[in-house]
Amino acid sequence: MNQNFSWPIRVYFEDTDTGGVVYYANYLRYLERARTEWLRAMGLDQGKLMAETGLGFAVRSVAAEYLKPARLDDELRVVSRIASHGRVQAVFDQRIERGEETLFTASVRIACMDLARGKAAAMPPDVYKQLEQLT
């Protein structure tokens, strides 16, 4: 079962540069928000996970392609899917769309981290199982 998750985003003035184009780093913020909302929709409370297990997720790497600019007041959609996952890491394929146009694509590798030690750690079994159902 390969499921996509879609999250709407509107471009605000604060997201843009002086030309009214979305500042490049904000695309990464949009991706982060979409991944967070997807986990929330799955019932995964990241704050609770950190408090109860000392584990959290961190971005390990990003490969991004900026295809077309998003502009002030655009209504965008972040579409995400889990490309692969293991016990410690997951790779999300994400894209930002405006209508039928793809503006931005990225492959984002996240790692489960033991926050106190600052080292990679295995995901809790229930989280791993949830991701497995989406891959």
| Cα–Cα distance measured from residue 46 to residue 42, given in angstroms and rounded to the nearest whole number | 11
The DSSP result for 35-102, as a single string, is HHHHHHHTT--HHHHHHHHSEEEEEEEEEEEE-S--BTT-EEEEEEEEEEE-SSEEEEEEEEEETTEE
Catalytic residue positions?
17
Q: What residues pair up with 113 in beta bridges, in sequence order?
A: 56, 120
Tell me if 56 sits within 8 A of 49, measured CB to CB: yes
